A and B are shown apart, each in its own frame.
Chain A
Amino acid sequence: MAQIQIKNVAKTFGAYQALHSIDLTIADQEFMVLLGASGCGKTTLLRIIAGLESATTGEVWIGERRVDHLPPRDRGIAMVFQNYAVFPHLTVFENIGFGLRMQKMPEAEVKRRVERTATLMHIEQLLKRYSGELSGGQRQRVAVARALAMEPDVILMDEPLSNLDALLRLEMRAELKGVLAESKTTAIYVTHDQVEAMSLADRISVMHQGHIVQSASPIEVYRNPAARFVASFIGNPPMNFLPATPAGGGTWTVAGEHFQGPKTDAAGLDFAIRPEDVTPSETGLPATVRLVEPLGAHLLVTFAVDGHPFRAVLDSERVIQPGERMRLAPQKGRIRWFHPETTQAVS
């Protein structure tokens, strides 16, 4: 049970700046997801919090204690690793009880906790097995159980589901969410999978090139991306962008159409809209169909709008042919604007 504060943390590897002055506060019992592409610094940040990596500058606080000078075992954390790191020479029981025994906990209490967490993770029948006799999904459960058995203040997870196959990942995701909410532990979860991030997080911190670009609730990150990077990283397919020129009085011209936008004196803005937020209509953006991809529940249609690629998710009942011309009306209140140079959102 602890709040985590990261103050001005930076990390350089030689000449490479992996993290640029990160400031982040994670509330007690919050489920924070660090989301970003590989190389964005998310794992480095997690490892700095864990104590497996030291920050070049900055402070890490867990609860009321500054911990950046402490070894991992004195930080009140537990961790789930990407490759599980379930010790092959120990049985499932010994693996789950590893941290407890290191703390010299009485054997009866070790047994009680191991059995409780094993039951929680549905692996109570595997306690005598070795990891070589387990499937990937079962190893994952052991790794999570080992972390939960510590009853830590903070649980850190480094892409814990990335090595599971798609179906199992879905199942484990739902289970993790339930188990962690139950445990009332503060959680930091690193992933590059935006769906995972959206479904698990109380709050998502989107990372890019060693910066936190946006830190907000999943729906806020999705609806109101703070920067063009977030808009194009989150959502599949991502947001559409079209150049807009000022028509005066907060009105902007996009592909020959006028839209009400921010009142700024910028020479141009980027108009942005999510693919599912447009509908075919009598008025709107003039679009030519380039490609139609039926996806079952809906159609993914790629258009050309004023020479720019533009994707829309449409009802699968519609019959649409490549070359067809139509107009796409953006849903009210869903249009977003970004500054083309700073790439920041403008409102």
Chain B
Amino acid sequence: MKVPLTWLKDYVDLDDLGIEDLAKVMTMVGLEVEEIHLVGLPLPEGDRHEFKYTGLPWPADKFIVAQVDEVLPHPNADRLVLCRLNDGKEEITVLTGAPNLYDYKGKGPLDEPLKVAYAREGAELYDGHQPGYQLTMLKRMKIRGVESFSMICSEKELGLTEAHEGVILLDADAPTGMPLADYMGDAVFDVDTLPNMVRDASVLGMAREIAAATGKELHYPDDSLEMAGPALEGRVGLEIMDPELNPRFMLGMLEGVAIQPSPYWVRRRLSLAGMRPINAVVDATNYVMLEIGEPLHAFDYDILVERAGGKAPTIITRTAEDGEKLTTLDGAEHTLDSNMELVTDTAGVLSLAGVMGGEESEVNDQTCNVLLEGASWNFINIRKTVSKLKITSEAAYRFSRGIHPALAELGLRLCLKRMQEWGGGTIAQGLIDHYPNPPEDPLVEISVDWVDNNLGVAISPDEIAKILTRLEFECSVDGDTVTAKTPQHRLDIHDGLIGRADLLEEISRIYGYDKIPSRRLNQPLPPQRMSQEMAMEDTLRDLLVNLGLQELIAYRMTAPGREARRFPPDYAAPEVDYVEIQNPITVDRRVMRRSILATMLEILEYNSTLSERLAMFEIGPVFHPVAGQQLPDEKMMLSIGLTGLRSMPTWQKDKPEIVDFYDLKGVVEGMLAGLHIDNVTYAAGEDPSLHPGKTADVLVDGEKVGVMGELHPLVKANYELGDAPVYVAEFALAPLVGKAKILFDVEAIPTYPPVLEDLAVVVADDVTAAQVEEVIRRGGGEYLAKVQLFDIFKGKQVGEGRKSLAFSLTYIAPDRTLTDKEVSKLRQKVIFLLGKELGAELRS
């Protein structure tokens, strides 16, 4: 909400507080000032400002309240006039093209001079003819043969509003010769009101907070009325059908009002507060809503009488019938349902209660008698209506957050008073007031100990009472306990324990957060529990980073079609359930992902032209709905993606090779070794996304924990992935975490020299290296410390359909140097087993 400083000053004396200091007070009490718009006032002194300032200063020697005594025609131009202007010092002729002065042209000296905002030569102001806010300086020039050097200003030129149709005509009592900034300079605070502080969505509400924080006195507006008209009683009936939804409804009447513009100061205040001035009646309802936070609604009484067939109308508040229709004054037609509260008469719907009026009974240019509604509505009901009909209004904003019914009366009285002041007329005798459901304003007890135990500062009962009294709680002190009765302008204070928390907030805000001390935690340390899973995830991240991979954090939202790209085109993917989003921002983000591999492939695709080498991993959840379970399983997964060059190319001659299956396998092996997972085996595997011949299942203790391999060329063709093959791996984290070891045995460093020898054997093509290695290890027994494959050879020399595998074997005994004889014996055993089990022959 935008609140002008001059308006605040109606309720609290702020003359000793600078703009910057006032904004600080507001911020520190919970009224966050987002921006300060200066209207004519200079930027506060000092080099550090904690707020964003906009706006235009009006130096006292350049911007003056002046009076136009006569409007003369321009000798050479119809659309321009010359004004005989007095700025309090001298008489000047000022040229202007403002259409709102044409009426005064050639009328001779004016009986009542026009008061205007006058800018002298050299003044800097906004150019009214340029879009936006462009600064320009007034210079001496000739327009159509007449010299011009100063200006009568429009609102836009002064930075008040966008309006530039005519010049500002100030109220008649504006003192000629007074610096304009002194007369109407202002600062508009743009305040972000918190959802629980609807009481502060009003100038009076903010003034109350400021008064409380500074210890100043709060002045309520005068709501005394002169009710000189005939009694209202008998001229309008009222029925409340559901007091739960409509706790209070009041009516008052102003007769013989003129639909005319409000005084300039009212229009200026409304404009500065962001509300368009319309006429005295509508302006009064808006003004009072901004002033105290109570939205009001004005009906044309004569239309209601007409609808009632010439008799006294009856206002009925009730819920809508399903399907009932209403065209609101914004021109939109709404279909209503039986939960929506309405204001009606015997002829039908008048307005959507607390939200927006209907077109038909609205105040219009012919209106003469105004029936004014001040009411209170159930905020949850208003909220539901607003969210269902998707309409908003200033009234709905307030009523949907809870307005105390007591404000209906103050609002009604103030509004009648202001309408009469600005539009004339007579106020009917008496107000109609149905108040079937007054709220219980809670009485809350709070002790000094309670405050100390929750805020950590001992505040005396008297001080607590003083703070709360400033916020208009009625307090009594009994020993260490303060009893506070909630004031009749707020509905956010509860009973009992919650009420105490509510009061703690009020006490601490006004006491000042900055005055509460800072202390370190003094509580016993809770039992320390470690999440093995999260600790392992972190270990895994570090391992993969050490292996040269880039970690990713990816979006969870995707679309089934995006995930299906990870399958070959003809693959019949099984039907799966997704966590579906009811209100997605786009169709391609309408479900929670099920596949971490699909995410990896999209990220590889995104980056494929950006780097010649990609090596990445992601650890994150996938979401699998489970029948009979409200929430999906969130399974933590790991994906790895490798493609492109083995290392980044440089100026060096040799271009690095592209990665292959075994680069990926090296990463996987490094990762598993780093987790100290033993008994890992790899077996040819199958996966619809992977190359049928280049896929491995990764098994730990014979149990599959993941899959790795080359991306299936048909799948790769679904993405824009460049020429190099792509290698990916996918693991579920839970089994890895389960198998990882925190404690493991360290092998002794051998003290005796090893015996090294090579062994080359020829086997059939379909015998795997792993099979050969397993037999070698079994044959070599405990002294065979290391088996390393160092060559694979295929060719004529070894025969068709066969291959040669060459291993380097390392024998070590922990307690002695092995003799040649011992090693030779082991070697014979290995060769024998290889021949017997795998048909292997020693390669000569």
- The reply to whether chain A is a binding partner of chain B is no
